[in-house]
Amino acid sequence: MKWKVWLVVALVFLCCAMPALAQRRGYSSGPATVSANETKFEITPLYGWMWGGTIRTYEGDFVLDASGGWGVLVDITVRPGAQVELKYIRQDTELYRKSGFEQETLTEVAVSYYQIGGLYEFQHKGNTDFFGTVTLGATRFDPKAANDEWLFSSTFGVGAKVFMSERIGLRLQADWLLSFVTSSMWCGWYGCTLSGQAISQGMLSAGLIFAF
């Protein structure tokens, strides 16, 4: 497990260093400057580290163990600075119960996020695009010792894309992922309100962008 943590750390440092590297190689000025604004379609396989995920009950806290996660992002440009994003994220981990000082591993579980939403670029500097994302969709919890369950979910993210050429770039992102265990919605003249208990997870990831 330690090598996965070091892999994520190495990717984070690499992505943070890319703006300076691109500027030194001449990508950040002149005709060679590229950004997400100029691409129509992007595919980004990614890997990262996921943590969090707790359900509090009278029997104790049911917690998803922190572990590596991987996924694929598909971004389609609809106008300059805005993209429709399709997101798939998967985490293979363990579910354990924590009560007081006692901790019991219950089962292995696969957590999969199926999301659709938008990406909005709020700053462009050289070959680097800084962006935010919001998505909606479903989360599938598939424990090895029980039946799977589908929950409504949403994600919020911020990050940066660093393009090294017209077709290749690096993407560094931080995400907040919410899956609603029990939820209800009320609507009135003021709008609609969603409430309920949610499983909250965080993810730091890095990926390689293939732009078309």
Q: Concatenated DSSP letters for 47-67?
A: EEEEEE-EEEETTEEEEEPPE
Distance between CA atoms of residues 49 and 69, nearest Å? 6
Strands 67-79 and 60-64: unpaired
Query: Which residue numbers in the chain have pLDDT < 50?
Result: 2-3, 18, 20-32
Block residue for tokens 């924590």: 98
- The helix (run of H) or strand (run of E) holding residue 94 is strand 82-99
Q: Under DSSP, is residue 31 helix (H, G, I), strand (E, B) or coil?
A: helix
What is the DSSP code (8-state) at residue 28? T
Distance between CA atoms of residues 199 and 64, nearest Å? 9
Distance between CA atoms of residues 35 and 121, nearest Å? 10
- Fold for 2-211, please state it: Porin (2.40.160)
The model carries a pTM of 0.78
In the structure encoding, which two tokens stand for residue 156, read together? 């919020």
State the pLDDT at residue 61. Answer: 87
State the pLDDT at residue 56. Answer: 82
Strand partners, 44: 73
State the pLDDT at residue 28. Answer: 45
What is the DSSP code (8-state) at residue 210? E
State the pLDDT at residue 166. Answer: 87
Please check whether residue 31 is in contact with residue 51, taking contact to mean a CB–CB distance below 8 angstroms: no
